Chain A
Amino acid sequence: DAGVTQSPTHLIKTRGQQVTLRCSPISGHKSVSWYQQVLGQGPQFIFQYYEKEERGRGNFPDRFSARQFPNYSSELNVNALLLGDSALYLCASSLWSRAEKLFFGSGTQLSVL
């Protein structure tokens, strides 16, 4: 079975632009979470979605938004990009909102110039 897939793998944007990152969870998984990993740091929680509803939100500005579709795939949108948004964005899926194990995708490396 395919794991968690994310697209694109790499992205270069300029300040002020908007970006959309995509995630397809493992088949049968209904929960998707997004994490931001700045170089040299541990991942930080951004959002969790379960059954198309937002279940949790981390300490990120309103420029960050997300949604989950009926097929459980998810998009993360970031508006008005700042240099500090440059990071690896990781998507993780699990069977339900409080599952034992999270499965991480390979991430999208976003560079903001």
Chain B
Amino acid sequence: ELKVEQNPLFLSMQEGKNYTIYCNYSTTSDRLYWYRQDPGKSLESLFVLLSNGAVKQEGRLMASLDTKARLSTLHITAAVHDLSATYFCAVDIRQGGSEKLVFGKGTKLTVNP
């Protein structure tokens, strides 16, 4: 069974600091997603990584994918309070004609002034 592990699960950081969230998964997949979720809200798509070595950046967030290592990272640069949220990685699994996402448990990020 596919396992998706994120670490850390909780992250408290100061504004202006850098940090990386890691996402390891246990089976082959060529597609990985990062989502953001604010309390009581739905999932906001941040990045879709489609191939080995893919790197995408949006503002202070940068995501990368290493399919050989089955590892994705979400790097936060110079954090600001508005980035406080829970971040999920999700691995795309395709079986027959279907597609499903398997999510990690999420990383709850708190950015303190």
Same complex for A and B? Answer yes
B43 within 8 A of A: yes
Query: How many chain A residues touch the partner (CB < 8 A)?
Result: 28
The answer on a CB contact under 8 Å between B97 and A50 is yes
* A45 near B42: Cβ-Cβ < 8 Å: no
With A42-B88, A43-B43, A101-B48 as known contacts, state yes or no: A48 contacts B98, CB within 8 Å.
yes
Q: Tell me the smallest distance from the CB of B87 to a CB of chain A, in Å.
A: 10
Complex CA gap A64/B102 in Å reads: 19
Measured as residues with beta carbon below 8 angstroms from the partner, the interface class of chain B is 20 to 34
Report which of B35, B90, B97, B100 forms a contact with A58, defined as CB distance below 8 A.
B100
Given contacts A42-B88, A42-B90, A100-B48, contact A56 B100 (CB under 8 A): yes
In the complex, per-residue mask of A14-50: 1 if CB is within 8 Å of any chain B CB, else 0: 0000000000000000010101000011111100101
Q: Is A42 touching B42 in the complex (CB atoms < 8 A)? A: no
The 15 sampled A-B contact pairs (Cβ below 8 Å) are A42-B104, A43-B43, A43-B101, A55-B96, A55-B97, A56-B95, A90-B43, A94-B99, A99-B99, A100-B31, A101-B48, A102-B101, A104-B42, A106-B41, A107-B42
Q: A33-B100, A55-B99, A106-B42 are in contact. List 10 more A-B contacts (CB 8 A).
A: A31-B99, A33-B99, A43-B103, A44-B103, A50-B97, A94-B99, A97-B97, A99-B99, A100-B50, A107-B42
A residues touching B (Cβ–Cβ < 8 Å)? 31, 33, 35, 40-45, 48, 50, 55-56, 58, 90, 94, 97-107, 109
Q: Contact residues of B with A, CB < 8 Å?
A: 4, 31, 33, 35, 40-43, 45, 48, 50, 88, 90, 94-106
